[in-house]
Structure formats: C-alpha cells, structure tokens
Amino acid sequence: MDLTLWHNPRCSKSRQALALLEDGGHAPSVRLYLTNAPTEVEIIEVLTRLQIAPRAMMRTGETLYKDLGLKDADDTALIVAMATHPILIERPILLAGANAVIGRPPEQILTML
C-alpha cells in the first residue's frame, strides 16, 4: 500500500504518527506540507477521502484562523485559506490509496494499516 504522510516535524503528534508508522515497518512518503503546500484541488481530494467538511480538517484554534475571520466562512473560503496558509491544516494526515485519516490522536493512523 502506498502511504503518504502530510507531516510537520515541529509537531509532536505528527512526529509520533511517523514513529508509529516506521515502528510498524512502514516507510511512508513524507510531505512537508508547510513548505510544499497542497493546492485547492489536492485539499478537496483529501477532504473527499476523509469524508469530512473543510472545517473538520482545520486547526480552528490557530490565531490565524481567528485573524482571518474564518469562523463564519463558507467551505470554498476555508479551502482557499488552507491552500494559502497550510498552517491551518490539521496534522498529521495519512493518505493510503483512496482513503485518508487525520492522526488525532496519532494512533488513529493505525486504522488505515
């Protein structure tokens, strides 16, 4: 199975998720999504895999979320915001085939294996 982890090495939960994968003998492709930001199309594809609304994939506690006034934004605006400011994307996200899972808690990624 082809695995890709949207990863932020500065995030302890993201590091834990990567360690769980590696400890289980998996070598996922790692996408440093803060420096290699996903496009709006990629975000829509991941949302489809996750089967969730855009806000559920966002870090709503981020100061930037509040600063941008996203509380009442529609789905399109949220997707644009994530593509423009990838720090708003919840992490980590594991992509596996046609499926995906947000690693909150990190052990959640094990449901994909």
> What is the tens place of the pLDDT at every residue in 90-112?
999 999 999 999 999 999 999 98
Show which residues are catalytic. 11
Distance, CA of 24 to CA of 39 (rounded, Å):
30
This prediction has a pTM of: 0.94
DSSP state for residue 41 in the 8-state scheme: H
The sign of the dihedral angle between the CA atoms of 109, 90, 32, 95 is positive
Q: Is residue 1 predicted with pLDDT exceeding 90?
A: no
